[in-house]
A and B are shown apart, each in its own frame.
Chain A
Amino acid sequence: MEYFLIEEKKLSVKLPLPYKRIDKKEIKDGSRVPEAFVVFGNTDDFFEEVCRNIRHLGSSKVYLKPVIFFAERKLSPRVSAMADEVFSSSELDEDTIKFELKKISRINDAIRKINPIEDEKEDDLFLRVLRFIFTRDRRVEPVRDRTSFFGITYPAIESFFSKEDYALFSTLEFLEENGSIEGEFFEKVHLCNKCHCSFLNFMEVCPNCGSASLFEESLVHHFPCAYIGPESDFMKDGQLVCPKCSKKLKGLGVDYDKPAVIHKCNHCGFFTQEPDVKTVCFNCERESSPEDLIAQTIKIYTLTSTGKNFAIYGFESPLLKALSEQLNILPYNSFLTLVQLELERSKRYGVESSAIAFQIKNLNDIYAKLGKKTDNLLKEIGSLINMATRKSDILSILNKGTILFLLPHTPLKGAEVVKNRLVIEVDKLIKENVGINPITESSISEIPKKEAKEPEELVDELLKNLKQIEYKEE
């Protein structure tokens, strides 16, 4: 087994491992799969970039591979935590490395358990992250980091996301929600509600005019005469003299006290004891009140047995789960059998029937945006389907986002109406509730009355013809 070595600068010592030197541009999917990647360098940025490139590869055979850092100098805790193993270049003796490499083979063993580990492109980000967590078999721990956009990050899985991508958190939330991982509270961070940046300025402002220019002083209460006012009311030649009874104040706690502080706005003159608090994002300059910030709960995550199962065999489709609650969704095989029957019926009795395929292509973007709230959206979609179809229609889910419909006794024209209504409603729902443009594709097909056709053929035809509907300009 060979290792791929990626260097920031030429490795000066001998690496006691079988390796092949590659350029960082050569990190890509391909037939050659290394035992692990070895990265040598001395800047955080380089390690981070290489790691991100590896984790962004398509093939699960490659993107999950162990990554070993050889660093000339001490790396930041965040970057160190990205690698499976970190050695300083002074530690390059054979015994240490051999010993530590046991961990590398453990990871590779775990990767082999993943089923079916073909060299297919694995594009479900949630599954990619879950599989990574599974193969590492350790807790996903947050690290506070001032250079991170969020102020806190999960370095181990950060490389799966682009920089400043909030999906890092929503992915973990999604995985916790579907039972793959379990979270234990760590802390809460406040993030800008526009750009999710944690670098925020908190300031006290005048509740009347919003100015941050406030003058703070104490209220003074003179007990004997009950006068109460800002300390400046009492100031006379550097001494505190009561403006009501003209007595000199004796001492704090003796004949007066300071029951509160008060702020005077230098801009509008308004007095307040409780200035509003305003935050300004250092990144996007969004102003908001603290209540409106995103209070992101940060947890330490561990894999559950459900998660282990999902990692090995893949998720059960959340779409299927949500739709099954309201609709009768048939397994794909049963669906094909019924299509077969319908094909025969049409041929024999001339019944006019149709089939529809409907797909939400960017379901993953929706998950990333909505996190755990996706379920509600899917249920809404379920009730839209419920309204658009009849009891006698037959439904199945092909893969993550494709729904198949068999509409008996429905001519092509009728099916077209059903399809368009469904697409328009779902598009509208997603657009209004998620705020992103949905990419939905659909197609229809007639169950042929004359020619003979296999059910699989019909489904293939539907999938081949999938396209977005064109909205007429209004």
Chain B
Amino acid sequence: MNIIVHIVDWFLNHSLGQLIILFWPFFFFDLPRFVLLDILCVPIFLFQRWKDRYRVRDAKLALFREQPLVTVIAPGKNEGEHLPALVESIKQQTYKNIEIILVDDGSDDDTLQILRALRRQGLIDNYFRNERRGGKAAAANLSLRFSKGKFVVHLDADTHLREDAIENVIFPFYMQDGVGAVGGDVRVKNIDYNLLTRLQALEYLKTITVGRIVSSVLRILRIISGAFGAFRRDVLLRLKGWDVGPGLDGDIVLRIRKLRFKVLHEPTAIAYTSVPTTVKRLIKQRYRWSRSLVRFRLRRHRDMLSPFNKNFELFNALTVLDNIFFNFILDFKWIVYLFQLVFFFRMSLFTISVVNYFLYMSLNILEYFMARIALDDTFNRSEKYLWLFLPLMPFYTGVFLRSVRTFSYLMELLFKASFYDKWNPWKVSRTIRDEN
């Protein structure tokens, strides 16, 4: 009781201006970037859906009339145990003209035997294997080299698809011209495993499910998950496939946009992926993700930002800017904020933290219900109960993930660490390092 009285008291003693200055990260950045944009974009999305309902139907009709071959590729290392479930979910698809090509990138477990068995049973069309690991890009390119489909759907081996996922990820190509790639929504498969997976499920709903609806409404979609994305094969061939590196999922999207193809997000095309179940593995995963941003957005696509470059296009530039700004520069704002609080508001530190907690929790609540409003009919039982865990989200995203992210950005900026990262096989990292 005392605490509440104390906080109310504290509020009354500050003017609105003071409060806004005290909570500037929330009011100047997170509120407009997330809350306002969500409130603006989700209704636009719903309106567009409603307006496009006949065009969606016609696009699906056109798809099923043409029946183009769709190649599904799923490169991976030591992913054998996941493959039968993946293949099974592909066989269950409402869209049937699918070719499955799997690549085993130097596995040292029984993946190869599983691939052999799958082919013998006629469940997959072909498989390839690199005796020595070549990295994710090379494995995807190997699949691409031998694919025959008009479209190529890239999946992570540990995902599986909702039964209408292929249909839904392909029809947008038939809805408008010049679409080069379509990303699907990625949800968490092992939600009920433990608390950590539930929090990640909420995070995915927030950043991927809602986040990508917003980015696509704003036409600044910058990533198609490797976990689930569809590409026109001819476009991939023009690009000669994926390039090396961490962050290749985002990289290929930017290169497609440079060719002036549209990149869309289709929230009803849903893949489920397994997320890390231990803190240690989660940290490792995020460490990798964060550093790829610095490397590929900042270093490689600088040209997209220059108006003098022949590749310049406003939305592409915004895509890169948004990405750099909100993910990278803003990530350091909390250090500044922390300094500000510690040095100038040490006395009210607790109160300010509590208020921040409630502010960010409301933001999470809003995002979760935005996702429900936009896509409620695609939510499964576990996803519908996730709101129970919303109170923990500010700790998860605000403290835990932020620390991991900042640390990895710093490492990458200071040491170019990803060149030495285990993520790429050493031979690939070495040649890139030499060339730079």
Contacts and interface: CB of A to CB of B under 8 A. Distances in A.
A225 B240 contact: yes
Interface of A: 207, 219, 221, 223-230, 233, 243-245, 253-255, 257, 259-260, 262, 270-274
B431 A226 contact: no
Greatest chain B CB density within 10 A among A228, A230, A253, A259 is at: A228
B241 A227 contact: yes
A229 B139 CA distance: 10
A260 B130 contact: yes
B243 A259 contact: no
Given A219-B142, A224-B435, A228-B142, A273 B240 contact: no
Contacts of B82: none
Nearest to A261: B131
Contacts of A272: 126
B131 A225 contact: no
Contact of B242 (A226, A254, A259): A226
Nearest to B428: A223
B152 interface: no
Nearest to B432: A224
Contact of B130 (A221, A224, A225): A221
Interface residues of B, number: 30
Given A228-B139, A244-B241, A257-B132, 5 more contacts: A224-B432, A226-B138, A228-B134, A228-B142, A259-B132
Nearest to A254: B431
B296 to A, nearest CB: 13
Contacts of A225: 240, 243-244
Contact of B241 (A226, A230, A259, A270): A226
B416 interface: no
Contacts of A207: 119
B145 interface: yes
Contact of A224 (B128, B241, B242, B431): B431
A331 to B, nearest CB: 54
A181 B137 CA distance: 60
A71 to B, nearest CB: 52
B130 A226 contact: no
Nearest to B112: A274
B126 A271 contact: yes
Contact of A226 (B126, B131, B243): B243
B168 interface: no
A257 B134 CA distance: 9
9 contacts: A219-B128, A223-B244, A223-B428, A228-B134, A228-B141, A229-B141, A229-B145, A259-B131, A260-B129
Given A255-B431, A271-B146, A227 B141 contact: yes
A86 to B, nearest CB: 50
Contact of B431 (A223, A228, A259, A274): A223
A243 B131 CA distance: 22
A244 B141 CA distance: 11
Given A244-B240, A260-B129, A273-B129, A226 B116 contact: no
A201 B9 CA distance: 92
Contacts of A262: 128
B131 A228 contact: no
A228 B142 CA distance: 5
A274 B120 CA distance: 12
A224 B141 contact: no
A228 B129 contact: no
A244 B239 CA distance: 8
A245 B132 CA distance: 22
B128 A260 contact: yes
B427 interface: yes
Contacts of A260: 128-131
Contact of A228 (B106, B119, B138, B435): B138
Contacts of A221: 130, 134, 138
A243 B240 CA distance: 8
Contacts of A253: 427
B172 interface: no
B135 A226 contact: yes
Interface string B383-417: 00000000000000000000000000000000000
A373 to B, nearest CB: 27
B173 to A, nearest CB: 24
B130 A259 contact: yes
A219 B131 CA distance: 11
B418 to A, nearest CB: 15
Interface string B213-247: 00000000000000000000000000011111000
A94 B328 CA distance: 105
Interface string B421-432: 000000110111
A244 B244 CA distance: 12
Interface string B108-148: 00000000100100000011111110110111011001100
A262 B129 CA distance: 10
Nearest to B132: A259
B94 to A, nearest CB: 27
A272 B128 CA distance: 7
Contacts of B129: 260, 273-274
B77 to A, nearest CB: 13
A80 B375 CA distance: 85
Nearest to B116: A274
Greatest chain B CB density within 10 A among A226, A245, A255, A272 is at: A226
B331 to A, nearest CB: 29
Contacts of A259: 106, 130-132, 134, 138
Contacts of B137: 226
A243 B126 CA distance: 23
Contacts of B244: 223-226
